[in-house]
Amino acid sequence: MGMSNPKPAPGLAPMRLLAALSVALGCTAVADFDDYTEAEDGDDGPGDTGMDAGAGDVDAAAGDGDGDGDVDAAANVDAAANVDAAAGDGDGDTGDGDAEPVLGCDNPATLCVRVTSFSPHVDERVEIELVTEDHLLRARAILNPMSDGSTTADVVMPLAIPDVDLPEEGDTEHKLHLEINADQNKSGDYDDPPDDHAWIVDLPLDGNLTYSHNTVFERLDPRAAGLGADLVVELRELDAIHIGRMIEVMLVEASTGRAVGLYRLGEFDGFDQDLVLPGVVDPGDIAYEIQIYIDMDDSRRYGGTDDDDSWKAPRTSDGGNVVVTFDDAFRDADEAELNYQQDFPD
């Protein structure tokens, strides 16, 4: 980097002289005396990676320290750091140039599940849990009921698979598995088979699973241990136009971008009620984002604010449950376009 002042800065002239002398004597200079830039790290709030770019900054594309050579998609890289998203995140795609993670099913960090031939359970509550080998809950989805009569239902939870659980080169099995149960006896909770139907299912390495109903049931024992607190969405004062519509709630961990909870209410009946996702909230003063949409065009998928009503808002666990009162005040203040509602690939 050339100096704007042709006169050497104090203290540099002796070093330049030393460098010239070393060259004359056949020695090798081991330092670049011109590169004396200093980069300051600004405080960019939650999710900042801790490094802002200056000359000679660390290239985030070199990896996230987990040994797999990819950029942590959940790391919420600060745009001011000049990290080039087009360099890729190690999963084969190139990103969009805006340092935003790929949220769809082509990212192995996104959980994509399709249950099919589930004809016995179309009007029952179906629960899908992402679980570690030592029975810790990573994410939970509740479909209540499973569908509007279709024997197939999809769940897509962007970045739900933490970086520490992503497959590494040479792995033949995923570190995580799925535990699926259908509330056959309609008790409102899980009961061991044969009262309910339940399965323990290996997760493919790419995080994409299509699972057909079968009668090889398994007990979910022990049940996956949650994080200690719940998401509670209180449906209040909804308009008559919302009766009969599907309502979907997504809980996203703000610091990582991980979708950790999904609740899909198949049909709003017009009455005030609470939607509860047990165990998906860390009570330790953790920041989350709540995304909610009402399927106004009855397509069973999010079509943007042109087709559906949607909202998002920040919340903090603050030592306990995350409670969202979804009333007129919330809907007036927090209407927004959503980005986490991705489609299962056909």
Shared domain check, 274 and 190: yes
* 13 occurs within a structural domain: no
Last residue of a domain, one of 81, 100, 119: 100
Mean pLDDT, range 183-208, rounded to an integer: 96
Place of tokens 């998906």: 280
pLDDT of residue 31: 36
**What's the pLDDT score for residue 62?**
41
105 falls within a domain: no
Rounded to the nearest integer, the mean pLDDT of the chain is 80
Write the single-letter amino acid at 102: V
Say if residue 178 is in the same domain as residue 286. Answer: yes
Co-location of 94 and 62 in the same domain: yes
Check whether residue 80 and residue 131 sit in a common domain: no
In this structure, the answer to whether residues 133 and 207 fall within a common structural domain is: yes
In the numeric block, which tokens belong to residue 318?
């603050």
Domain count, the chain: 2
Query: In angstroms, rounded to a whole number, what is the distance separating the alpha carbons of residues 203 and 316?
Result: 31
- Let me know whether 90 and 173 are in one domain: no
Tell me what the mean pLDDT of segment 292-316 comes to.
95
Show Cβ contacts of residue 65 under 8 Å, excluding neighbours closer than 6 positions: none
pLDDT at 19 over 90: no
In a domain, 346, yes or no: no
Residue 36 lies in a domain: no
- Do 209 and 75 fall within a single domain? no
Q: Which residue has the tokens 């330049």?
A: 16
Examine the domain organization and report whether 194 and 273 are in the same domain: yes
Query: For residue range 228-267, what is the model confidence (pLDDT) as tens digits?
Result: 999 999 999 999 999 999 999 999 999 999 999 999 999 9
Instruction: Give the per-residue pLDDT at 101.
Output: 83
What is the mean predicted confidence (pLDDT) over 137-153? 97
Domain boundary among 100, 125, 145: 100
DSSP 243-290: TT--EEEEEEETTT--EEEEEEES---SS-EEEEEEEEE-TTT-EEEE
Average pLDDT over residues 50-67: 39
Is residue 139 domain-shared with residue 288, that is, in the same domain? yes
Q: State whether residue 242 is helix, strand or coil.
A: helix
**Which of 100, 125, 143 is at the close of a domain?**
100
Do residues 126 and 92 both lie within one domain?
A: no
Identify the H or E element spanning 22: helix 12-24
Assess whether 153 and 63 both reside in one domain: no
pLDDT for 67-84, tens place per residue?
444 434 333 333 323 323
Residue 34, domain member (yes or no):
no
Is the pLDDT at 311 greater than 60, yes or no?
yes
Residue type, 104: G
Beta strand 197-202 with 176-182 is antiparallel
Query: Does a structural domain hold residue 38?
Result: no
Could you tell me which residue, 211 or 76, shows the higher pLDDT?
A: 211
Contact between 331 and 311 (Cβ < 8 Å): yes
Domain that holds residue 70: 46-100
Residue 25, C-beta contacts closer than 8 angstroms, at least 6 positions apart:
none
Q: In what order do the strands lie in the sheet with 176-182?
A: 197-202, 176-182, 126-132, 137-144, 259-265, 247-253, 287-294, 309-316
Residue 100: pLDDT band by 50, 70, 90 thresholds? confident
Flag whether 5 is in a domain: no
Let me know whether 67 and 145 are in one domain: no
The values of phi and psi at residue 64, to 5°, are -110, 15
What's the CA gap between 216 and 223, in Å, rounded? 18
Q: Is residue 1 part of a domain?
A: no
